Amino acid sequence: MNILVVCTGNICRSPLAEKLLQSRLTAAGIPAIVTSAGTRAMVNHPMTDEAAFLATRYGAEPTLHAAQQLTADRIAAADIVLTATREHRGEVVSLHPRANRYAYTLNQFARLVTAKLSDVELPVVEPAETPTINNFLAEISTTKGLALPPLDPNDDDIDDPYRRSAEVYDRVGVEIDKAVTTITAALSAATGRP
């Protein structure tokens, strides 16, 4: 499974989510390649020190990162695209219209997988197989338009902490960690992992 995480500069939110998702999916035994890109990437820049600190705080290695520009090819190569905001999702779909079926905000996807888990007959698969994950992702996609949106549409957006206070970074870190934890738990359950 190829997951692409998208934000603006690809130095704060998306690399943090990338590192956390990769670390947790690997620990859960779920085969995944997680990458990230920015809609207006600060190409070849590293993660901010604050984002790297948060990656470590939440249990991921802030391995070397060089910001990458979002392209239609990157989107087409992904099985799922997770964005920091609804605006980023719109930019993804503008670049590659077929991504409308598999692009979500990070918070939206966490909400959808939580809702869908109660409807899915969970298979027992050892080891986690890509077709099982792909089936689960396809079911999420088909129910995307049927799920109730959040009361406040802004709840699907994660604020940009770039050049902002430590408190904003902390809040963003908590929000990304919560979404990643939810997504990892859902994919683990959908593939018969504890």
pLDDT in tens, 14-38: 999 999 999 999 999 999 999 999 9
Cβ contacts of 159 within 8 Å, gap of 6 or more: 168, 171, 172
Give this prediction's pTM: 0.88
- What are the strands of the beta sheet with 80-83, ordered from one edge? 33-38, 2-7, 80-83, 103-105
- As a dihedral over the C-alpha atoms of residue 117, residue 33, residue 5, residue 21, rounded to 10 degrees, the angle is 60
d(CA 99, CA 116): 20
**Mapped to the 3 state alphabet, what secondary structure does the chain carry?**
CEEEEEECCCCCHHHHHHHHHHHHHHHCCCCCEEEEEECCCCCCCCCCHHHHHHHHHCCCCCCCCCCCECCHHHHHHCCEEEECCHHHHHHHHHHCHHHHHCEEEHHHHHHHHHHHHCCCCCCCCCCCCHHHHHHHHHHHHHHCCCCCCCCCHHHHCCCCCCCCCHHHHHHHHHHHHHHHHHHHHHHHHHCCCC
Lowest mean pLDDT of 45-49, 150-154, 183-187, name the range.
150-154
Cβ contacts of 114 within 8 Å, gap of 6 or more: 182, 186
pLDDT in tens, 119-151: 544 444 444 445 477 777 777 777 666 566 667
Backbone angles phi, psi at 4, to 5 degrees: -115, 130
Is residue 36 within 8 A of residue 15, CB to CB? The reply is: yes
What mean pLDDT is reported for the chain? Answer: 88
- Residue 4 clears pLDDT 80, i.e. is over it: yes
d(CA 168, CA 68): 24
Domains of the chain, by residue range, sit at: 2-190
Looking at CATH, the fold of the domain delimited by 2-190 is given as Rossmann fold (3.40.50)
